[in-house]
Amino acid sequence: RKDLYLHLGRLKVIDYPEDWQSWFELALAEQGCGNAIESRRAFERALTLNPDEPVVILNISSLLTQTGETHHSIKLLQNFLKSNQHPEVLIELGRAYLRIGDPRTKEVTRMAVELDERCLRGHMLLAEILAREKQFQSAEACYKKVLEIC
């Protein structure tokens, strides 16, 4: 079944080479088949065609982080955030910072929660950060916020 999606995705970008969604769907199909290099190329093409789409930046960032290119992922996220403040992108940046031990993790995660106070992933990440810092009462407050939102 994965091969079928991959084949259809490749045909679709031939028919619609300027459609970012076609490239995005191909990237997901390539990723699902374990083709990281081809997936990255397709994500990059989707990003070139639509640089303001958060779903593209989130997926390419995740792929870069998974393949050990966390610093490249951080640069992409930072560049995106210069013109688009998006809570999920801030959370992804916070996770990337956490992965490399960057102290800006808490700051960007708080920014995400301030932009969207119902952002579950933001509260969960903030709780994780606070627990690592042994700020257990603050972490507990974040977990309670998650339960309230649910």
Q: Is the dihedral of CA 109, 110, 112, 118 positive or negative?
A: positive
The candidate with the shortest Cα–Cα distance to 98, out of 86, 109, 113, is 109
Paired tokens of 65: 């982080």
1 vs 143: which has the higher pLDDT: 143
The candidate with the shortest Cα–Cα distance to 13, out of 25, 5, 23, is 23
Residue with tokens 């199909």: 29
Q: What is the pLDDT of residues 18-29, one digit of tens each?
A: 999 999 999 999
Q: What is the pLDDT of residues 97-137, one digit of tens each?
A: 999 999 999 999 999 999 999 999 999 999 999 999 999 99
Maximum CA extent, the chain: 55
- Does the structure show a pLDDT above 90 at 56? yes
Q: Look at residue 2 in the predicted model and tell me its pLDDT.
A: 85
Q: Look at residue 107 in the predicted model and tell me its pLDDT.
A: 96
Q: What is the pLDDT of residues 58-112, one digit of tens each?
A: 999 999 999 999 999 999 999 999 999 999 999 999 999 999 999 999 999 999 9
Q: Residue 53: left if φ>0, alpha if ψ -120 to 50, beta else—which one?
A: beta
Non-local (6+) Cβ contacts of 75 within 8 A are none
- Does the structure show a pLDDT above 90 at 15? yes
Instruction: Give the pLDDT band (50/70/90) at residue 3.
Output: confident
